[in-house]
């Protein structure tokens, strides 16, 4: 078995900081770093707009497909509104079809599913 290791300090050098779409929030948290987990509380509509803005900003900055992992309860209804994502794309001057084809969404409901998602993406060379 061919195994390679990477130090966590090396991973920190590869992070990218993304705009949230809200200058006040960017100044408060020094933008969003790839590879980190963030937990935000607040009004659902505001959080959804933040999520769509982050997805589009990540696509603009990274220029490769984006994976959005949500932990919302699917019983609550829509977990990711593609119409709002397309609308956000237009606001950023991007083709909605391009954005909808480049943003992937996975909903996980516990730690095991999150770990399985990571393994799945690694096995299939996704992201």
- Residue 3 is predicted with a pLDDT of 61
3-class secondary-structure state, position 70: strand
Confidence of residue 124 (pLDDT cuts 50, 70, 90): low
Domains of the chain: 40-123 (3.40.50.300)
- Residue 19 is predicted with a pLDDT of 86
Q: Say which DSSP state 31 is in.
A: S
Per-residue pLDDT reduced to its tens digit, 65-116? 888 888 776 666 667 889 999 999 999 999 999 999 999 888 888 888 888 8
Q: What is the pTM of this model?
A: 0.75
Q: Which residues of 6-30 are buried (b: 16+ CB within 10 A; e: fewer)?
A: eeeeeeeeeeeebbbbeeeeeeeee
3-class secondary-structure state, position 72: coil
- Residue 95 is predicted with a pLDDT of 96
Per-residue pLDDT reduced to its tens digit, 26-75? 888 888 887 777 888 888 888 889 989 999 999 998 888 888 888 776 66
- Residue 102 is predicted with a pLDDT of 94
- Residue 52 is predicted with a pLDDT of 93
- Residue 99 is predicted with a pLDDT of 96
């Amino acid at each position: 078995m061919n195994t390679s290791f990477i130090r966590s300090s090396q991973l920190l050098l590869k992070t990218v900081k993304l705009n949230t779409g809200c200058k006040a929030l960017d100044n408060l948290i020094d933008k969003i770093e790839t590879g980190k987990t963030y937990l935000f509380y607040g009004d659902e509509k505001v959080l959804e707009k933040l999520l769509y803005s982050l997805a589009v900003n990540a696509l603009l900055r990274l220029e490769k497909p984006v994976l959005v992992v949500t932990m919302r309860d699917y019983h609550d209804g829509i977990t990711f509104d593609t119409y709002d994502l397309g609308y956000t794309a237009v606001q950023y001057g991007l083709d909605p079809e391009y954005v909808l084809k480049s943003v992937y969404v996975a909903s996980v409901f516990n730690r095991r599913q999150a770990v399985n998602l990571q393994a799945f993406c690694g096995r299939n060379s996704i992201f």
